[in-house]
Amino acid sequence: MALLEAENLSITFGGLKAVDNFNVKIEKGTLYGLIGPNGAGKTTVFNLLTGVYKPTEGKATLDGTVITGKRTIDINKAGIARTFQNIRLFSQMSVIDNVKVGLHNIYKYSTASGIFKLPSYFKKEAEMEKRAMELLDVFDLGSERDYLSCNLPYGKQRKLEIARALATEPKLLLLDEPAAGMNPNETAELMDTIRFVRDKFDMTILLIEHDMRLVAGICEELTVLNFGQVLCQGKTSEVLQDPKVITAYLGE
């Protein structure tokens, strides 16, 4: 059975069908791409999958359990983590603290042991510190650990967001335009990082992207959305050859 299955997911915003009958099956370990013109409904699909919006119709299952209707935090605990199109870091917190917030539900100790510095505080904090540094080092952010996250350059902010999402130990990682605003060098480096993350963390990744080189370079399968509807679905090479997709992108 596929890791993520969405069946007929739909949502309407005051008459506008932002997502209409969205179906997808993503197998474990896949690098899956979601593409489409501006306003096609890609981000809305992410918001439906993570419980930010409740679908008007349809359902989604992760690893066999239904996730539609659950709260965002429960969906995260069930195993979906995401990044945002317009970066949402904890801007007034340090780089490492951003990752530690991601580790919140992994290394637990009670509020009281934190206040009174009981042994469990020191034990869990040390473990958390170690794990957070490992994650930061994957993204080459180790030397900026004490920076306020808002002071990081743009490309590094995007990486930090991925590190924070990975910290929650998800089964499925959703990346919303991870290469937006990056120069070609940074994009190439990001492609390597995404592949590396998939291999090292044995991760399934669904990503939205406008950069066709990145999509063609790393995605194994694709879904193309247009006006909220699935236009085409399948192996990357085949989808990108499809005349319908070419028209949707280039116009008539």
Partner 1 sequence: MSSKPKSKLLKKDTRSDLITYAMVLVAFAVVEIIQATGSMTSLMRGLLVPLCMYSILAVSLNLVVGILGDLSLGHAGFMCVGAYASSIFSVCTRETIENPWIRFPIALLIGGICAAIFGILIGIPVLRLKGDYLAIVTLAFGEIIKNILCSIYVGYDSKGIHMSFESESSLGMEMDGKLIINGPLGINGTPTDSNFIVGIVLLLITLFVVLNFIHSRAGRAVMSLRDNRIAAESVGINVTKYKLIAFSLSAFFAGIAGVLYSHNLNVLAATSKNFGYNMSIMILVFVVLGGIGNIRGSIIAACVLTALPEVLRDLKDYRMLMYAIVLIVMMIITSSPKLVSFREKYGLRQFIKTKMANRWTKEVQ
Ligand X SMILES: Nc1ncnc2c1ncn2[C@@H]1O[C@H](COP(=O)(O)OP(=O)(O)OP(=O)(O)O)[C@@H](O)[C@H]1O
Which residue's structure tokens are 């809305």? 44
**Binding ligand X by CB under 6 A: which of 9, 40, 60, 160?**
40
DSSP secondary structure letters along 76-144: HHHTEEE--SS----TTSBHHHHHHHHTTTTS---HHHHHTT-HHHHHHHHHHHHHHHHHHHHTT-GGG
- Is residue 43 involved in binding Mg ion (CB under 5 A)? yes
Q: Are 136 and 163 in contact (CB under 8 A)?
A: yes
Q: Are residues 224 and 248 in contact, defined by beta-carbon separation less than 8 angstroms? A: yes
Quick note: the x/- pattern for ligand X over 45-84, rule CB under 6 A, is ----------------------------------------
CB of 125 to partner 1, least distance (A): 8
Least distance (Å) from ligand X to the CB of residue 70? Answer: 19
- Write the CB contacts of 157 (distance below 8 Å, at least 6 apart in sequence): 87, 89, 149
Instruction: List the one residue from 4, 20, 22, 44 that touches ligand X (CB under 6 A).
Output: 44
**Which stretch, 40-48, 65-73, 94-102, 116-124, contacts Mg ion (CB under 5 A)?**
40-48
Residues 65-104 close enough to bind partner 1 by CB under 8 A: 71-73, 76-77, 81-82, 84, 88-94, 96-97, 100-102, 104
Does the footprint of ligand X cover residue 85 (CB under 6 A)? yes
Q: In the chain, how many H helices and how many E strands?
A: 10, 10
Torsion of CA 210, 211, 212, 214, to 10 degrees: -130
Cβ at position 56, least distance to partner 1 in Å: 21
Contact 230, 52 (CB under 8 A): no
133 binds partner 1 (CB under 8 A): yes
13 binds ligand X (CB under 6 A): yes
What are the residues binding Mg ion (CB under 5 A)? Answer: 43, 85
Site for ligand X, rule CB under 6 A? 13, 18, 36, 38-44, 85
